[in-house]
Structure 1
Amino acid sequence: MHKGKGMKFVGDSRVVAPEARKPMLPKDYSEYPGKTEAFWPNFLLKEWMVGAVFLVGFLCLTVAHPAPLERIADPTDTGYIPLPDWYFLFLYQLLKYTYASGPYTVIGAMIIPGLAFGGLLLAPFLDNGPERRASKRPIATGAMLLALAATVFLTWQSVATHDWAAAERQGKIVEKVDIDKTAEGYQIAKDNTCLTCHGENLQGGAGAPTLIGTGLKPEEIAKIAKEGKGGKMPPGIFKGDDEQLKKLSEFISGLGAK
């Protein structure tokens, strides 16, 4: 019998191999210069630096142009025209169209946006090829370009068609003035339906400007009351006599006057 014949060698899985004791080192990317790099810390550090630059720029922009403030919200003002933030303007414009508003609000608010965002979510699964060039991924590229074009067009339409002058008037912060509702001038304004458009406290509403602090003389107010102004206030609304018109004009002219 030869020496060692019939002997068997077995390994114990509980013994850690020498290779496993080596520390976790990043892969060597020297074979691919300029094409790839380690995620930590190289790539992640670049991401943080770019994010910091944008964050500082955004903070400077908010300091230079603070958010505009409007007057205190009035739930009784049915003439108020709301306007969402710029990143929701495309959805706001969509709700203005015939088959996306009114009785079709569910279509404009849920179905159409749901189909659009659902299509974008499914785009990577519908076109999951290995190519990275946009020209070789027609489904994903076409869906993204269509969504981008629709968003830009609807946002532009919302800005172009919005009544910015009315929005500035309705949101203007005016000095709070205690209105004497027992005054004869106020009762004359109430009897001539002035409060219907200008509000119970004459603060403005329904597209009508505030009557507080107008800076107009009584003669100018009397002329507007009789002859109207623009297309929103036609002539002939005031039905009282000259004495009532004088008291109304003096009352309105004195509101908020300094």
Structure 2
Amino acid sequence: MKRGKGMKFVGDSRIPAEKQKFIPKDYSEYPGRTEAFWPNFLLKEWLVGAVFLVGFLCLTVAHPAPLEKIADPTDASYIPLPDWYFLFLYQLLKYEFASGPYFVLGALIIPGLAFGGLFLAPFLDKGKERRPHKRPITTSLMILGFVAVFWLTYEAAAHVDWEAKAENNKPELPSEVEIDTSDPGYAVFEKSCMQCHGGELEGGAAAPTLIGIDYSVDEIKDIAVNGIGSMPANQFQGSDEELQQLAEFIVSVNEEQE
């Protein structure tokens, strides 16, 4: 008998001599389940998601969303529209049962029940069956949800001339103009207006641009004192002479642009 034959050496008697490999359960014994979740099923989900993401990115590159001009609170003819993924809710609020006195029903209750049911679905339906025809209630509700979203989105989009809307709402970027800093009105502008309207009259988050506006000297003086839109009154603090210089300066800048 050879030395050591039939003998097994371990460092700790509590460690088994033969380590058993992890063998996943045979999922075929469960109805509708034929493979392990990790890594088989999850890997397929990742692949499908990656293909969808690449396709979606290609679509956004080929057909970019049109930009719109800066919001103007004085333009009462502008009709705002939500993004395409909210158009179905926008269309829902057009119906009598979800608008007017029933606005809360259309804006909160119906969407809340729909999204709440979708969120609670995994907790309410714990059946092991995965085949759609074996789960008629869940399948029917999901099909109903898809049909409702697609139909409402189609109805909302069909009544909008998207090309005309994009053409009318193109952003109007101010052209480059030279500011005469020696003009006495510029000193008044720098003291009273530059903080909101920018050093080049380009505007900002707090105020619109002053380039491309069509106002007379008297109209600008009235706006500076009494305000307009979201601009409150009494923003200008200065003498009548400074107010005149400010208005003439703004008008002269726009005349040079033309």
Show the counterpart of 1:234: none
Contact 1:94 1:100 in 2 (8 A): yes
Deviation, 1:147, is: 1.5
1:135 aligns with 2:169: no
Amino acid at match of 2:158: A
Q: Distance in 2 between matches of 1:54 and 1:153?
A: 22
Deviation, 1:86, is: 1.6
CA deviation digits over 1:7-36, x for unaligned, max 9?
xxxxxxxx73628x726523375988xx74
| 1:57–1:83 distance in 2 versus 1, CA, 3 Å | same
Show the counterpart of 2:23: 26
Deviation, 1:94, is: 0.7
- Which is higher, the Rg of structure 1 or of structure 2? 1
Q: 1:213-252 counterparts in 2 under 5 A?
A: none
1:167 aligns with 2:201: no
Show the counterpart of 1:16: 14
Deviation, 1:91, is: 0.5
Q: Distance in 2 between matches of 1:66 and 1:157?
A: 22
1:154 aligns with 2:188: no
Query: What are structure 1's unaligned runs of at least 5 residues?
Result: 1-14, 187-199, 201-254
Contact 1:80 1:170 in 2 (8 A): no
1:181 aligns with 2:179: no
Amino acid at match of 1:25: F
**TM-score normalised by length of structure 2:** 0.53
Q: Distance in 1 between matches of 2:158 and 2:66?
A: 20
CA deviation digits over 1:126-168, x for unaligned, max 9?
6554433322322112211222221122111111123546633
Q: 1:70-81 counterparts in 2 under 5 A?
A: 70-81=68-79
**TM-score normalised by length of structure 1:** 0.53
SS at match of 2:155: helix
Deviation, 1:256, is: 11
Q: Distance in 2 between matches of 1:66 and 1:256?
A: 34
Contact 1:123 1:139 in 2 (8 A): no
Q: Distance in 1 between matches of 2:168 and 2:256?
A: 18
Q: Distance in 1 between matches of 2:113 and 2:28?
A: 45
Show the counterpart of 2:90: 92
1:105 aligns with 2:139: no
| 1:62–1:104 distance in 2 versus 1, CA, 3 Å | same
Q: 1:190-229 counterparts in 2 under 5 A?
A: none
Contact 2:27 2:36 in 1 (8 A): no
Contact 1:123 1:143 in 2 (8 A): no
Contact 2:93 2:103 in 1 (8 A): yes
| 1:128–1:88 distance in 2 versus 1, CA, 3 Å | same
